[in-house]
A and B are shown apart, each in its own frame.
Chain A
């Protein structure tokens, strides 16, 4: 069986599931961020695979480019928030961050 669109989609699905798994089982906030990055990557694989197998449709490429841009912005802001949480609580364990007051 030759490698086709389905193979790329399945790789994307596996990466998506692993990202969900990282979000569900990890307690460290930074590892949860890595799960989000995995999910965004799997979405990008789907965009580009469809763009390729529908005869080089560049709309998919541009959408993937915007996803990369937003992932960069998201990572910067999220890590700044994680650093500030660490200053407040001296931990990044998502279970122990449960106070709204200082």
Chain B
């Protein structure tokens, strides 16, 4: 179990450290790029939890899709040459105190609670087969609805982001 512990602390430090940069960095571009390391650290935690399919889905969807969207958003809504890319925070100190107290409470609750844990942790060869079976049997309706949601979301996003008045340039 030694390697497991070392890897866990590495990925957890990667995820939490770059999430700290996301929250406290004054530069939007730095925040957007350190999001990538947060997502990669979380994907590493998924691998440690034997969720190989979800780790790959995390990397493909978050790093490959959502992060690219966010970076496009940063580039389209900030003038890079402008000083406006440096963002200011507000009420930083009270918010940090309140969130710190909240985090302490929730972490204490989680460590004190006697969770229902199965004694043996089975080694699985892979999760893709079982996830596929569940998606085609118990979760068939949510699966289909998720497809429709994605279609509607992409159509809605294209509608909303469209230039008004037939493609005039701003």
Contacts and interface: CB of A to CB of B under 8 A. Distances in A.
Contacts, number: 236
B89 interface: yes
Interface of B: 1, 4-5, 8-9, 12, 15-16, 19-20, 22-23, 28, 31-32, 35, 38-39, 42, 45-46, 49-51, 53-54, 57-58, 61-62, 65-66, 69-70, 72-74, 76-78, 87-92, 95-96, 98-100, 102-103, 106-107, 110-111, 115-118, 120-122, 124, 127, 130-131, 134-135, 138-139, 142, 146, 149-150, 153-154, 156-158, 160-161, 170
B134 A59 contact: yes
Contact of A55 (B54, B118, B139): B118
Given A3-B8, A34-B35, A77-B156, A48 B134 contact: no
Interface of A: 2-11, 13-22, 24-31, 33-35, 37-38, 41, 44-45, 48-56, 58-59, 61-62, 64-66, 68-77, 79-84, 86-87, 92, 95
Interface of B is mostly: helix
- Residue with the greatest number of chain B CB neighbours at <10 A, chosen from A15, A49, A75: A75
Interface of A is mostly: helix
A37 B53 contact: no
- Residue with the greatest number of chain B CB neighbours at <10 A, chosen from A10, A16, A80, A87: A80
Contacts of B66: 37, 71-72, 75
A3 B149 contact: no
